[in-house]
């Protein structure tokens, strides 16, 4: 595997890359894909200070991103940040890209004043990989809301003290 660098300055082509990563992730609905695309377009149009949307891209030189994360401070909290999105190209999973993205998310969040990182996910079976991933990185379930997204589909909130 070639060297994969992390980049945190979004570029105009990143909208298409994020659409591809989210569409091929296998768990996100078309409505969720649309929201992920809106976040990057907003960030490109209005900048970091106005949106609070931090992005990280994992990529080899001159190649499309193989993974991305989006995160930021939770409005009206003093030191709590949220991971909004993370996805790694299905063909590149299991090689530590997600772990590297999360390590840098945590580093940047802590540098920005975060004392805790929160992650909302689903209790659905197809999110089992995501839940195992967060647990392996030291996140613990702080709350679970039954029948939240839909009957039988709970919201699971993970938390980690930074």
Ligand X SMILES: CC(C)(COP(=O)(O)OP(=O)(O)OC[C@H]1O[C@@H](n2cnc3c(N)ncnc32)[C@H](O)[C@@H]1OP(=O)(O)O)[C@@H](O)C(=O)NCCC(=O)NCCS
CB of 59 vs ligand X, minimal distance in Å: 13
Among 51, 96, 155, 159, binds ligand X (CB under 6 A): 96
Is the Cβ of residue 32 or residue 147 nearer to ligand X in the bound state? 32
Among 6, 39, 56, 86, binds ligand X (CB under 6 A): 86
Among 39, 97, 109, 117, binds ligand X (CB under 6 A): 97
Q: What is the DSSP string of 115-141?
A: SEEEEEEE-SGGGHHHHHHHHHTT-EE
When asked if residue 29 is in the footprint of ligand X (CB under 6 A), the reply is no
**49 three-state secondary structure:** helix
Distance CA 10, CA 7 (A): 8
Among 29, 77, 115, 136, binds ligand X (CB under 6 A): 136
Based on its alpha-carbon atoms, the radius of gyration of the chain, rounded to whole angstroms, reads: 15
- Contacts with 40 (C-beta within 8 Å, 6 or more apart), sequence order: 10, 14, 15, 18, 53, 55, 70
Among 132, 142, 143, 146, binds ligand X (CB under 6 A): 132
Residues that bind ligand X (CB under 6 A): 25, 27, 86-88, 93-99, 121, 127, 129-130, 132-133, 136
């Amino acid at each position: 595997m070639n060297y994969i660098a992390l980049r945190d300055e979004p570029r105009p082509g990143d909208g298409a890359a994020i659409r591809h990563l989210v569409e091929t992730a296998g768990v996100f609905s078309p409505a969720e894909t649309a929201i992920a695309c809106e976040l990057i377009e907003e960030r490109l149009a209005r900048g970091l200070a106005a949106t609070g949307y931090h992005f990280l891209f994992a990529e080899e030189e001159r190649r499309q991103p193989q993974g991305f994360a989006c995160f930021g401070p939770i409005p009206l909290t003093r030191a709590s940040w949220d991971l909004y999105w993370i996805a790694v190209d299905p063909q590149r999973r299991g090689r530590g890209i997600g772990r590297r993205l999360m390590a840098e998310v945590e580093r940047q969040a802590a540098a920005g004043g975060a004392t805790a990182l929160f992650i909302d996910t689903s209790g659905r079976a197809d999110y089992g990989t995501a839940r195992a991933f967060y647990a392996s990185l030291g996140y613990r379930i702080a709350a679970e809301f039954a029948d939240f997204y839909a009957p039988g589909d709970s919201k699971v909130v993970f938390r980690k003290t930074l």
